Amino acid sequence: MKVFQEGESLDLPLLYKELKAEYDLTETHYTFGGNLFSFLSVLDSYALLDRISPEEFIKDEQMPYWAEIWPSAITLSSFIADELTLQGTRVIEIGAGVGMASVVAAWKGASVLATDYSLEALRFARYNGLKNRVNLAYERLDWRLVQCGEQFDLLFAADVLYERVNLLPIVTAIDKLLKPGGMAYIADPRRRLAEQFLELAAENHFSITSFPRKYIGGSRDVAVNIYKITRQ
The CATH code of the domain that includes 28 is 3.40.50.150
Q: What is the model's pLDDT at position 3?
A: 46
- 155 falls within a domain: yes
- 3 falls within a domain: no
Q: What is the model's pLDDT at position 88?
A: 96
CA distance 43 to 91: 29
Q: What is the model's pLDDT at position 181?
A: 96
Q: How far is CA 205 from CA 50, 141, 142, 169, in A?
A: 42, 24, 23, 15
Q: What is the model's pLDDT at position 74?
A: 97
User: What are the per-10-residue average pLDDT scores of the chain (232 residues)?
Assistant: 46 90 94 97 68 51 76 97 97 97 98 95 95 95 89 97 92 96 97 94 97 88 97 94
- 1 falls within a domain: no
CA distance 190 to 166: 16
CA distance 17 to 145: 34
- 38 falls within a domain: yes
Total domains present in the chain: 1
pTM of the model: 0.89
Q: What is the model's pLDDT at position 2?
A: 44
The domain in which residue 73 lies consists of: 10-231
- 4 falls within a domain: no
Q: What is the model's pLDDT at position 51?
A: 57
CA distance 227 to 167: 14
- 227 falls within a domain: yes
